[in-house]
Structure 1
Amino acid sequence: MEKKQQLKEAFFAQDKETVFKKMETTQQGLTSSEAEKRIAEFGPNELNQGKSKSIMVKFLEQFKDFMILVLLAAALISAIFGDVTDAIIILVVVVLNAILGVYQEAKAEEAIDALKKMSSPEARVKRDGDVVSLKSDQLVPGDILLLEAGDVVAADLRLIEIASLKIEESALTGESEAVSKDITVIEDEKVGIGDRLNMAYMNSNVTYGRGEGIVVGTGMNTEVGKIADMLATSEETMTPLQENLNRLGKYLTIVILVVAVVMFGVGMFNGREWLDMLLTSISLAVAAIPEGLPAIVTIILALGTQKMAKRKALIRNLPAVETLGSTDIICSDKTGTLTMNKMTIEKVYLNGAIQSSEDEIDLLAPIVRVMTYSNDTKIANDGTLIGDPTETAMVKFALDKGMNVKEELAKEPRVAEVPFESDRKLMSTIHQLPDGKFFVGTKGAPDELLKRCTQIDNKGEIQPLDEKMKETILDMNHDLATQALRVLAMAYKIVDQLPTDVTTQAVEQELVFAGLTGMIDPERAEAKDAVRVAREAGIRPVMITGDHRDTAEAIARRLGILEEGQQGG
């Protein structure tokens, strides 16, 4: 049965009522019968793997190299003229070479298939008005998919409801910072993926909040599917080794034929029998062909493949191993490859001084309480932190310093909050203290937060915050930012009563400045050594990122990609 084509439209430029209508669905989701009908029409929600090649096809593909064809021709000629032993030896070498290539390719594909099955995510959707959990490949256009922190988005969605939803889309955009989502219609139909705030894309990760969306693209109709399609339709290129072997085979063939013809001509000129000279010339040609070369190359490549496997690298085709040895430039994505894709606090500014994350810090200091209280990170039973990378970094910092965050939050529970909004760049939570009072913790952009601070906490002593102090703090903010650190400010106050109107006007005023935190997506421990080894091998490493230039240059210098005096491109 031929599969129906999915709609390919700029759903981000349409209101949700229009999307509901076009996808022929409702807020309650699809019925089970309708879902079964659509999966038959559109196919499962999975990327095309391409037509699987049979063992015989894979085997025959091993004979495409020019050198192998020359050897086969030599074996045929040897057999025709009675030299059966040579013909058999050549054929055995060629067949063993092909068997080894097929074996390696099959083994690599089995490992890749096993990894795909392990990484298949679950999805929570509305079916028949109820929320059910399904394998992601069972999703169809029109399903209503539910998202929450920790989920992997299983299809392309037009978001219809959100609650502080943030999604990390580095696989598509290269940006490590999670994107705050919005359901507002986007008027520009040509806007890039990173700016489509009312969309969620397959294989991106929910880091914060909750949301619902209409599935508008599954399988190869997703943005990830488009990338997979481009890779599948790209031309297959030969490796440098294959090109060199083909070139060598052609040169040898020409030289051997020329020599054979010359020998035949000289023999005839000297009055020899033409049949004797023909057999002699053919024997010389066959003997001159290096039948052991393909076998030696294959064995060396197979040994290289096994060595790569021990380093947890899968090689599907044997010649790909040699390609690594021909590398002159390595271009690598920054986020998640050279860096951890996990924000980490490096420096803290409090009590008028900068402290390293490794220095001792008072866990009772207000800055630590604000970092952990004004924070929506979830701590799983196994200790895993789920949430926005910036917020999980703060909780991780406190946990590493020995703070029992769960216990502290239980003693001083959250009773109210003013959620983060991009226009004011602040977030506040209010906590009940044991003495009946309330602790207000606010974090956000330093320039915005300082406007709402009237005092500063200096070693536990509350002092007035004058303009000179504010300038000093902003200068410190600038210094940290030029070191590629993302800077957030912390402030607090203690009030006798819970505000009746929990708004920014009632809560986020007359605050006490507590300090600054500087964090960064740190480089991987092994990345610096990898860059050094690449440079020593004569390979030029290049980092590709969509981050701000200052941030990118700072990471590149720490990794050794940029040296003193060099600037990023």
Structure 2
Amino acid sequence: MTKSGATKKSQSLSEPKSAPKDDLKSLPMPEVEKRLASSPDGLSQDEAQKRLSQYGPNEIEEKKTNAILKFLSYFWGPIPWMIEAAVILSAVAQHWPDFAIILILLLANAVVGFWEEHQAGNAIAALKAKLANKAQLKRDGKWISLEARELVPGDVIHLRLGDIVPADARLLESDPVEVDQSALTGESLPVTRKPGEAVFSGSIIRTGEIDALVYATGKNTYFGKTTQLMQEAQSPSHFQRAVLKIGNYLIILAVTLVAIIITVALFRGDPMLITLQFALVLTVAAIPVAMPTVLSVTMAVGARLLAKKEAIVTRLAAIEELAGVDVLCADKTGTLTQNKLALGDPFCVNGIPADQVIFNAALASRADNQDTIDLAVLDGLKDKDALKGYDVVHFQPFDPVHKRTEATVKGEEGKPFKVTKGAP
């Protein structure tokens, strides 16, 4: 009993620490700092290097498929096998025109399918492009700028207006910040995040600046788990199952008929060459030689049209799958949006013209902040030069307490006045 317990204890001491778990995004901050063996002062460079070798770089591992093996995979399957059998039988029977036509169709299907999927690009690479490349972090008590891939759990990072959050982190003490999570959730409007709350890799800081404690990097982040699910989602589509079913049926039919022909020919003593020629005719007739090529070309055209609308098609079979959708369910915001806000028709009281309402709202907006509401209001101005004669002396950005923006403006007469936009 004692020996077994000692062995178990020895093994647990020799094993590396497990990666931070999901509960780190909701535990009290003192507990998070204790688990990560860190503090608002950050890590030392030596400790960071140890953790980098333990947890790995802060990046999403991409499964790369050998291009040659990928191309050869288009020659593997029930229908390709039948076409390849027809090619061999044509060569044996020396029917060279049939041999050439069938071989060209076989190669055309493989080339079209491989090239279109290659052109479509990799969705994981497209998602990785949204991640931050640089990060400002504290090492040995000093602020430095490093590649985002160098981040490790326990690092303290500084987030400013416009920064892409490089890893999952908990916010340290400061004023609340506005975070754009549209890339992750589809929500067009920024959300308020207070000290102690979590921000996720890939989101963008829209207002404010704050320090944060990293608790998850790479594949352990919310963003990383999403992309991992994309890589693992390789179940056969309805289209692929239908084609396989047709292929299996035709294979069984062709093999059965050829076996009957050869058996009868041997029983009757017919010449083997004539028997093979007859078997070839039957096999070619039973095989939909052009079907894979026609299907690949049709779906490739669809993929090109979607590509023009900036949609990423990783597998051509997904085109048919999407076309078979009867009901598409989305949440209240509709994640299939352009992530843009548009200004509706203003509601006015006391005879104030709509243009005047939009003009005053535009004075209380700032394009530099890239705030989605401000940009929508500014786009609603009919005369883009209307603001030129006005000087904004002081601008108070939106904050979650007052829930409005305010601006002190000097008009063309030089007299200052105030405008506000937001909650009454």
The answer to whether the 8 A contact 1:149-1:208 is kept is yes
SS of 2:172's equivalent in the other structure is: strand
Q: Distance in 1 between matches of 2:265 and 2:356?
A: 93
Q: Which residue of 1 aligns with 2:10?
A: none
Q: Which residue of 2 aligns with 1:99?
A: 111
Q: Distance in 1 between matches of 2:387 and 2:52?
A: 48
Q: Distance in 2 between matches of 1:311 and 1:437?
A: 49
In the alignment of these two chains, the number of paired residues is 407
The answer to whether the 8 A contact 1:101-1:317 is kept is no
Q: Deviations over 1:408-455 (max 9, x none)?
A: 223xx36xx798454xx55586859899999676665xxxxxxxxxxx
Q: Which residue of 2 aligns with 1:35?
A: 48
The match for 2:279 among 282, 307, 319 is 282
Q: Distance in 1 between matches of 2:409 and 2:129?
A: 47
1:199 aligns to 2:198 (yes or no): yes
1:132 aligns to 2:116 (yes or no): no
The answer to whether the 8 A contact 1:157-1:216 is kept is yes
Q: Distance in 2 between matches of 1:322 and 1:421?
A: 46
Once the two structures are TM-superposed, the CA of residue 147 in structure 1 deviates from its matched residue by 1.7
Once the two structures are TM-superposed, the CA of residue 113 in structure 1 deviates from its matched residue by 3.9
User: Taking structure 1 as reference, are residues 314 and 428 closer, same or farther at Cα in structure 2, changes over 3 Å only?
Assistant: closer
Q: Which residue of 1 aligns with 2:6?
A: none
1:216 aligns to 2:215 (yes or no): yes
Q: Which residue of 1 aligns with 2:83?
A: 71
Task: Output the TM-score relative to the length of structure 1.
Answer: 0.60
Q: Which residue of 1 aligns with 2:231?
A: 232
The answer to whether the 8 A contact 2:132-2:202 is kept is no
Q: Distance in 1 between matches of 2:342 and 2:50?
A: 44
Q: Deviations over 1:436-493 (max 9, x none)?
A: 999676665xxxxxxxxxxxxxxxxxxxxxxxxxxxxxxxxxxxxxxxxxxx32xxxx
The answer to whether the 8 A contact 2:187-2:339 is kept is no
Q: Which residue of 2 aligns with 1:44?
A: 57
Q: Which residue of 1 aligns with 2:39?
A: 26
The answer to whether the 8 A contact 2:206-2:370 is kept is yes
Q: Which residue of 1 aligns with 2:315?
A: 317
1:294 aligns to 2:278 (yes or no): no
Once the two structures are TM-superposed, the CA of residue 117 in structure 1 deviates from its matched residue by 4.4
Q: Which residue of 1 aligns with 2:387?
A: 404
SS of 1:166's equivalent in the other structure is: strand
Aligned alpha-carbon RMSD (Å) = 4.1
What amino acid is the match of 1:386?
Q
SS of 2:178's equivalent in the other structure is: strand
Q: Distance in 2 between matches of 1:429 and 1:298?
A: 57
Once the two structures are TM-superposed, the CA of residue 67 in structure 1 deviates from its matched residue by 0.8
Task: Output the TM-score relative to the length of structure 2.
Answer: 0.77
1:14 aligns to 2:12 (yes or no): no
Question: 5+ residue gaps in structure 2?
Answer: 1-14
Identity percentage over the alignment?
Answer: 27
Structure 1 or 2: larger strand share? 1
User: Taking structure 1 as reference, are residues 130 and 60 closer, same or farther at Cα in structure 2, changes over 3 Å only?
Assistant: same
Q: Distance in 1 between matches of 2:409 and 2:324?
A: 64
Question: 5+ residue gaps in structure 1?
Answer: 185-197, 445-487, 490-569
Once the two structures are TM-superposed, the CA of residue 53 in structure 1 deviates from its matched residue by 1.1
SS of 1:132's equivalent in the other structure is: strand
Bigger RCO of structures 1 and 2 (CA < 8 A, at least 6 apart): 2
The answer to whether the 8 A contact 1:268-1:277 is kept is no
SS of 2:58's equivalent in the other structure is: coil
User: Taking structure 1 as reference, are residues 277 and 16 closer, same or farther at Cα in structure 2, changes over 3 Å only?
Assistant: same
Q: Distance in 1 between matches of 2:159 and 2:299?
A: 46
1:247 aligns to 2:259 (yes or no): no
Q: Distance in 2 between matches of 1:329 and 1:202?
A: 32
The match for 2:370 among 379, 386, 389 is 386
What amino acid is the match of 1:75?
V
Once the two structures are TM-superposed, the CA of residue 208 in structure 1 deviates from its matched residue by 1.6
The answer to whether the 8 A contact 2:59-2:218 is kept is yes
Q: Distance in 1 between matches of 2:407 and 2:288?
A: 81
Alignment of 1:445-484 (within 5 A): none
Once the two structures are TM-superposed, the CA of residue 199 in structure 1 deviates from its matched residue by 1.0
The answer to whether the 8 A contact 1:170-1:335 is kept is no
Q: Which residue of 1 aligns with 2:7?
A: none
Q: Distance in 2 between matches of 1:3 and 1:62?
A: 42
Q: Which residue of 2 aligns with 1:344?
A: 343
Q: Distance in 1 between matches of 2:22 and 2:256?
A: 63
Q: Deviations over 1:370-426 (max 9, x none)?
A: x745xxx6543xxxx434x3455556657966453895223xx36xx798454xx55
The answer to whether the 8 A contact 1:345-1:394 is kept is no
User: Taking structure 1 as reference, are residues 338 and 436 closer, same or farther at Cα in structure 2, changes over 3 Å only?
Assistant: closer
Q: Distance in 1 between matches of 2:250 and 2:137?
A: 64
Q: Distance in 1 between matches of 2:16 and 2:112?
A: 38
SS of 1:47's equivalent in the other structure is: coil
Moved more, 147-156 or 229-238: 229-238
SS of 1:10's equivalent in the other structure is: helix
The answer to whether the 8 A contact 1:59-1:102 is kept is yes
Q: Distance in 1 between matches of 2:50 and 2:403?
A: 47
1:168 aligns to 2:151 (yes or no): no
SS of 2:391's equivalent in the other structure is: helix
Q: Which residue of 2 aligns with 1:533?
A: none
The match for 2:69 among 51, 57, 74 is 57
